[in-house]
Amino acid sequence: MLRAEPGQGNIAIGGATLAAEAASLGLIGEYRARVYPVLVGGGVPFFPQRQRRVDLELVETRTFNSRVVYLGYREVR
């Protein structure tokens, strides 16, 4: 979720390339991830290795009947 700015509402960013660009610019204040109970051997990394370190605080979790786990994190400032 984008960092709070004047105005109302939140903006969700999807897609690895766009999200990585927003993260590199320091525009993201919250991260919301869903973990699916499947192992795969490849794909696009969640975060590119060149990104800066971002310390996160876990603020919310949910486990669904499908075994998917939702994790909500807020950036520690």
pLDDT digits (tens, 9 = 90+) for 16-69: 788 888 888 888 888 888 999 888 887 777 676 766 788 899 999 999 999 999
Q: Are 72 and 60 in contact (CB under 8 A)?
A: yes
pLDDT band at 7 (very low <50, low <70, confident <90, very high): low
Find residue 2's DSSP bridge partners: 28
Is this structure's pTM higher than 0.85?
Answer: no
* Domain positions in the chain: 30-75
**Dist CA 12 CA 28 (whole Å):** 10
pLDDT value of residue 70: 97
